[in-house]
Chain A
Amino acid sequence: MMALDLIPTAFVFFAAAPILLLLPHGKARATWLLVLPALAGWQVWSLAPGAAGQVQFFGFTLELMRVDKLSRVFGLIFCLAAFIGNLYAWHVRDTVQQIAALLYAGAAIGAVFAGDLLTLFFYWEGTAIASVFLVWARRTEGAYYTGMRYLTIQIGSGVALLVGAVLFYRETGTIAFDRMTLGSPGTWLIFLSFGVKCAFPLLHNWVQDTYPAATITGTVILQSFTTKLAIYALARGFAGTEILIYIGAVMTLFPIFFAEIENDLRRVLAYSTNNQLGFMVVGIGVGTDMALNGAVSHAVAHVLFKGLLFMTVGAAMFRTGTSKASELGGLYRTMPLTTVLCLVGAAAISAFPLFSGFVTKSLIIDQTAAQHYPIIWAALVFASAGVLSHSGIKIPFFTFFAHDSGKRPKEAPAHMLLAMGLAAFLSIFIGVYPDPLYALLPYAVDFVPYTTSHVVGQLQLLCFALLAFGVLMRNGIHPPEIRGIDLDFDWTYRRFLPDVIAVVAMQTSRLWARWEQFGIGTISRMISGLYRSTGPEGRFAQTWPTGVMVLWIAILLGVTLILNFASHG
């Protein structure tokens, strides 16, 4: 096992992919997909802090394994997420998805341990390329186009990172990935690149576009890595950058309304992801030790409870073929265990006391108050009520309760229940006993989540919001679930711009046709004019050829005479 310490964790995953191909289909491969993240997790756990795995590359020193508390906690949660995701996908026999899951997890972990911007770039693009196969694995036309859109945006983010890194190197002479100050074009480009992956407002649509299009198991894996990697990168590079506070606050707010009316429950969860990332971004923007602890711990908790919610909705979809709220409802009768697990996830994301969201999110909200951002604080408390509305109520209610859809699907398969059970157990464990998680955080935690004030305040917020839901339902004011999609900013590049381009193209080709017509007409008129004068019937033709010859000789002689006279005169 000594040898394992010397291998960068990402390479463990990459090496596992060819080995997977050698194994027979079925349980052997599925088991390998569980053993591997466990092995990698153990490796990360036992890593000593410091830098290792330095490689020379065209005169640059690449640092493949920078191990400190920040990278370690993300490395650990990524290994755990890979384990849970692969357990959930135990039944999948699709080699493409299995390899993609391995490489994707490996790339994400590699990026987290990258000590320089060049290494980060390689892994950054690696996550994009590996993960798109989880969308394409659905093998439908819509999934193909969605994957292309996703890939374009993700690769674009990588290109921005590379250009940013080059400019940053020219400014500073270093490619080390450490805390930066926004200002120069290089740092702004790097910031933008992180922002795309973190789904900043107006850059966010790839999340809602892609997550509902991936395979059932693919979505669970997708949701764990890319956006959390972006959170890590922001925490590493831009902690304390004030603009992040405002970006994050907007992120917490606007998805609430879309999530509330969206019919596809996996897309509701995608909007919910935006909203939760917003809390983390605010924490990074505030930038105090405790706010960063909040952002990191909330990322860890989010991987678990959002994974759990995606898994429960996925299980309902696995059994019924749909994740649309209008088609679901009343599934608790025959899927009671999945229902209970979904309620645990809903309670955790809503931050009920004794669940993980409560002990992580409050670190962030408390810091916005302590650092005197009253408006941001009010926005985050508002957003907390919003989380309850779409993830706390809507997801479990419209999937498993509400009107009876008449569907009587079988309970989720045992391996799915196990994966969901593990995520649910950890979501409760962290909520009840947060100390082990707090111990993993980058800074010493000086915060007590369970005070009377805080518990009663939070319970009031949530229970009164639930009461409001009850009042609105009883009075028929709550919007019903209807089939359809909701337009968002991606309308601009999926519909508006293509339409504009189509109109411009049509007008241009019409103009061109007219111009061509005009040009051809002019030329043919010229030719026929020439034909008229020099053709067989033309005036010139009447004296042709001797007459014309005499004329030209006369002219040439005349010119020669004049030139001769002029030169000697």
Chain B
Amino acid sequence: MARKTSKRTSGKAAGKSALDKTKNKAAHRRVQRNEKLPALGRMMSWVDKPGNAGKIFWALAVVCGMLFVADFLYEKHGHFDVEHFPGFYGIYGFVMFTIIILAAKTLRIFVLRPEDYYGNKAVDREEYPADQLGKVTHDGT
């Protein structure tokens, strides 16, 4: 549950005013009506409804809070003392994840190159051969 929810934190458009919200919702419904999506796809499109990304984020925050509190309710077993510190894994996960993202972002400054950097000797600038694909859209166009 917690994992599916997290996927959705990108929609920053948690409406600013009530008017915006109604507008967005109406637009979302319009898109839905025009697109005949598979049933499961339609259900999952709940995550793209305005404001729901925020709901998912806060739900995840609550789950994290509960997991932190849970640490006080059972006897911890671990090989190292640091593991007995309440919320150790949570704090470690949060901090390390942030470090990874920031470090990777910095790394990109140095290593990013255009797709044709290695010229014709790499596949990066090529299109995948069309005859090996099954490129079909969901409504058959």
Which residues of A pack against B, CB within 8 Å? 91, 138-143, 145-146, 209, 212-213, 215-216, 256-258, 260-261, 264, 317-322, 332-337, 339-340, 343, 346-347, 350, 352, 366, 369-370, 372, 374, 377, 381-382, 385-386, 388-389, 392-393, 396-397, 401-404, 408-411, 413, 451-454, 456-474, 476-479, 482-488, 494-495
* A479 to B103 alpha-carbon distance, docked (Å): 11
CB distance from A69 to the nearest CB of B (A): 28
* A388 to B79 alpha-carbon distance, docked (Å): 24
CB pair A319 B97 closer than 8 Å: no
* Beyond known contacts A140-B129, A397-B10: 13 more, CB 8 A cutoff: A143-B123, A212-B123, A261-B105, A337-B40, A350-B3, A352-B3, A377-B79, A408-B137, A466-B3, A467-B60, A469-B97, A473-B9, A485-B124
CB pair B118 A369 closer than 8 Å: no
CB pair A389 B129 closer than 8 Å: no
Of chain A, the residue at the smallest CB distance from B112 is A484
CB pair A320 B135 closer than 8 Å: yes
Interface residues of B in 14-70 (CB under 8 A from A): 35, 37-38, 40-45, 47-48, 57, 60-61, 63-64, 67-68, 70
Contacts of A322 in B (CB 8 A): 128
CB pair B135 A466 closer than 8 Å: no
When A388-B97, A465-B94, A479-B108 are in contact, do A456 and B70 touch as well, CB less than 8 Å?
A: yes
* A526 to B110 alpha-carbon distance, docked (Å): 58
Contacts of B130 in A (CB 8 A): 321
Nearest 6 pairs between A and B by C-beta? A260-B104, A369-B79, A142-B123, A336-B40, A334-B138, A460-B90
Contact of B96 (CB < 8 Å), options: A320, A385, A413, A486:
A385
* A258 to B12 alpha-carbon distance, docked (Å): 26
Contacts of B132 in A (CB 8 A): 138, 215-216
When A369-B80, A397-B7 are in contact, do A257 and B100 touch as well, CB less than 8 Å?
A: yes
Contact of A409 (CB < 8 Å), options: B83, B112, B114, B136:
B136
CB distance from B106 to the nearest CB of A (A): 9
A-B contact pairs, 27 of them (CB 8 A): A138-B132, A140-B129, A141-B121, A209-B122, A213-B122, A258-B104, A260-B100, A321-B127, A321-B128, A333-B37, A334-B41, A336-B41, A340-B40, A369-B79, A382-B96, A385-B100, A456-B70, A460-B71, A460-B88, A463-B90, A465-B96, A467-B6, A467-B64, A469-B6, A482-B112, A486-B108, A487-B110
Contact of A139 (CB < 8 Å), options: B40, B76, B129:
B129
Contacts of B102 in A (CB 8 A): 477
CB distance from B102 to the nearest CB of A (A): 8
* A40 to B12 alpha-carbon distance, docked (Å): 52
CB pair B135 A142 closer than 8 Å: no
Of chain B, the residue at the smallest CB distance from A94 is B132
* A410 to B139 alpha-carbon distance, docked (Å): 7
Contacts of B105 in A (CB 8 A): 261, 477, 479
CB pair B67 A145 closer than 8 Å: no
CB distance from A308 to the nearest CB of B (A): 15
CB distance from B99 to the nearest CB of A (A): 9
CB pair A256 B138 closer than 8 Å: no
Of chain B, the residue at the smallest CB distance from A92 is B132
CB pair A461 B10 closer than 8 Å: no
CB pair B108 A389 closer than 8 Å: no
Contacts of B68 in A (CB 8 A): 460
CB pair B6 A142 closer than 8 Å: no
* A209 to B100 alpha-carbon distance, docked (Å): 23
Contacts of B96 in A (CB 8 A): 381-382, 385-386, 465
Of chain A, the residue at the smallest CB distance from B58 is A470
* A461 to B68 alpha-carbon distance, docked (Å): 10
Contacts of B117 in A (CB 8 A): 485, 487, 495
* A91 to B131 alpha-carbon distance, docked (Å): 12
Contacts of A393 in B (CB 8 A): 6-7
When A408-B139, A456-B70 are in contact, do A464 and B64 touch as well, CB less than 8 Å?
A: yes
CB pair A409 B138 closer than 8 Å: yes
CB pair A468 B93 closer than 8 Å: yes
Contacts of B113 in A (CB 8 A): 484-487
When A333-B37, A401-B7, A413-B134 are in contact, do A257 and B107 touch as well, CB less than 8 Å?
A: yes
CB pair B41 A333 closer than 8 Å: yes
